[in-house]
Amino acid sequence: MTDAHPLMLFNSLTRKLEPFEPVHPGEARVYSCGPTVYNYPHIGNMRAYVFADVLGRTLRFKGYRLTHVINITDVGHLTDDADAGEDKMEKMAAEKAQSIWDIAEHYKQAYWADVKALNIRQPAQWTVATDYVPQMIEFAKGIADRHCYELPSGLYFDVSTVADYGRLARSTTDADDRDGANELGGRIEQVEGKRHAADFAIWRRTPAGETRQMEWDSPWGRGAVLGFPFDIHTGGIDHREIHHPNEIAQNQAHCCTNGLDVPANSGARLWMHNNFLVERSGKMSKSSGEFLRLQLLIDRGYHPLAYRLMCLQAHYRSELEFSWEGLGAALTRLKRLVMAVAALRAQAEPAAEAGPRFADHLARFDAAMSDDLNTPVALTVLEEAAALKKVDPGAKLAAIAAMDAVLGLDLLALDRADLRLRPKAATITEAEIEAALAERKEARAARDFARSDALRDELAARGVEAMDGDPLGWEWKLG
């Protein structure tokens, strides 16, 4: 842990790179905002969990004992993330004519399937908001007197009762701007009777004439599981604006009310946010019909780990633009790595240690990951190691395994056949393709180019591209 490359992480609270100094030496406690399970996650949401996973893996690589909690919100979550709008869970339940519990269960399972497919490690604990209702009630009761006021629509948090509200969003010293003059105030819908634009509901009453199946808002599992303060809180960049400032305000209120001496009272020391995956044609939006789910990528023949690799090719704080071409390029890059590793595995078992030939690679890999999780550079170091000539294959496998434990591409388990996914729409079997290709080879050997071309065209008509001279030896792909 005291090594040449101290782990530096970007803290959204200070907008600076800071050395990671855990609350308890040797231990890292991380909380990640998980999904609200009212619909399938889109691949942008999954970028947030790939990021949290890479962070967790890096902390372990750096020698910390990791406790990672991911919270799943299965209770009322409002459509506009401020304090008005419809409840997403209730809305979907009504649309599907199912109970809200069935909706939550279905989409929770779908989310877990994506987590598994992307090789995201299981956290130490998944917390589910409805398991923490008594704690939420206690929490709300505890801060209500000093920090909240009641309106017909619910119990509202008065943001002027805590110091420096919204500093995470603004990261400036402009602490008095609580009345909506700043840009985030403009995004918050007004509720009659609110004292400040930024005040938010911590408890909502069922509007007259409506029956809602669940009634709670903010999940408080994190306090119960990790204690305060913990080390790192993660989420997507959108949460930096409203959701996380509101969490910090509630943490501050809780700590003050309970006389807890928590530095800065923000709950977590470091707040880390991944930037967005963007897609120009609007296919990311869950209201766009066929939106970009991981399953859609798989149905089109892209292995899910190609998407993971695509995420790693960008720094987590940079916007990443999705395109099918980009995903195709990531798949090719993954194929190259998998083929290289497969060739090594055919020769040797991974050695216990990578040994001196790889010391420099591992040091550079460590430097890259310790530099605020610089995965694009770390990936190139991994590829350089994989390309090193005249080295012991077992040692090379050990080096690759050490790096892949952080990047999570599952390189030592994947093989060529795994990566060759059959698109859902394909009407041809692999055996048929292989037979046609074998016949084509014979035709070419006999210089019967008319037959060879005809076979290629027949395959193309069925959605198979024959890849003559493919440097990876891939021979064909479905498109």
Nearer to ligand AMP, 84 or 391 (CB): 84
Taking CA atoms, 172 is separated from 91, 124, 165, 239, in Å, by 37, 35, 11, 17
Q: Does 112 bind ligand AMP (CB under 6 A)?
A: no
Q: Does 284 bind ligand AMP (CB under 6 A)?
A: yes
Crossing angle of helices 375-387 and 359-370, in 10° steps, is 170
Cβ(67)–Cβ(29) under 8 Å?
A: yes
Taking CA atoms, 104 is separated from 72, 213, 239, in Å, by 10, 12, 22
At residue 311, the 3 state secondary structure works out as helix
Cβ(191)–Cβ(151) under 8 Å?
A: yes
Nearer to ligand AMP, 52 or 385 (CB): 52
Taking CA atoms, 140 is separated from 87, 333, 383, in Å, by 20, 50, 51
The count of residues interacting with ligand AMP (CB under 6 A) is: 15
Q: In the numeric block, which tokens belong to residue 130?
A: 């409805």
Phi, psi angles (nearest 5°) of residue 288:
-90, 15
Shortest spacing between CB 79 and ligand AMP, in angstroms: 10
Shortest spacing between CB 214 and ligand AMP, in angstroms: 16
Q: Residue 31 corresponds to which amino acid? A: Y
Which distant-in-sequence residues (6+ apart) come within 8 Å of 396 by Cβ?
Answer: 344, 354, 358, 385, 386, 388
CB nearest ligand AMP: which residue? 236
At residue 71, the 3 state secondary structure works out as strand
Shortest spacing between CB 33 and ligand AMP, in angstroms: 5
Nearer to ligand AMP, 83 or 366 (CB): 83
Nearer to ligand AMP, 260 or 278 (CB): 278
Q: Does 235 bind ligand AMP (CB under 6 A)?
A: yes
Q: Does 474 bind ligand AMP (CB under 6 A)?
A: no
Nearer to ligand AMP, 21 or 183 (CB): 183
Shortest spacing between CB 479 and ligand AMP, in angstroms: 26
Q: Does 236 bind ligand AMP (CB under 6 A)?
A: yes
Nearer to ligand AMP, 157 or 322 (CB): 322
Shortest spacing between CB 303 and ligand AMP, in angstroms: 20
The single-letter DSSP state of residue 267 is: S
Our measurement of the distance from residue 422's CA atom to the centroid of its chain's CA atoms, rounded to an integer in Å, reads 26
Which distant-in-sequence residues (6+ apart) come within 8 Å of 450 by Cβ?
Answer: none
Which of 276, 296, 426, 458 touches ligand AMP by CB under 6 A? Answer: 276
Q: Does 238 bind ligand AMP (CB under 6 A)?
A: yes
The interface with ligand AMP within residues 29-88 (CB under 6 A) comprises: 33, 35-36, 44-45, 47-48
Interatomic CA distance for residues 205 and 152, integer angstroms: 7
Q: Does 392 bind ligand AMP (CB under 6 A)?
A: no
The interface with ligand AMP within residues 255-274 (CB under 6 A) comprises: 274
Taking CA atoms, 185 is separated from 3, 153, 212, 240, 350, in Å, by 44, 20, 28, 14, 56
Which distant-in-sequence residues (6+ apart) come within 8 Å of 239 by Cβ?
Answer: 33, 273
Nearer to ligand AMP, 306 or 397 (CB): 306
Phi, psi angles (nearest 5°) of residue 144:
-60, -50
Instruction: Single out the segment in contact with ligand AMP by CB under 6 A; choices: 28-36, 60-68, 192-200, 331-339.
Output: 28-36
Instruction: Single out the segment in contact with ligand AMP by CB under 6 A; choices: 182-190, 230-238, 299-307, 326-334.
Output: 230-238
The number of residues in the chain equals 479
Nearer to ligand AMP, 226 or 242 (CB): 242
Interatomic CA distance for residues 368 and 357, integer angstroms: 19
Nearer to ligand AMP, 277 or 338 (CB): 277
Which of 62, 170, 196, 239 touches ligand AMP by CB under 6 A? Answer: 239
Q: Residue 374 corresponds to which amino acid? A: N
Shortest spacing between CB 276 and ligand AMP, in angstroms: 4
Q: Does 127 bind ligand AMP (CB under 6 A)?
A: no
* Maximum pairwise Cα distance, the chain: 89
Nearer to ligand AMP, 63 or 282 (CB): 282
Nearer to ligand AMP, 45 or 265 (CB): 45
Q: Does 233 bind ligand AMP (CB under 6 A)?
A: no
Binding site for ligand AMP (CB under 6 A): 33, 35-36, 44-45, 47-48, 235-236, 238-239, 274, 276-277, 284
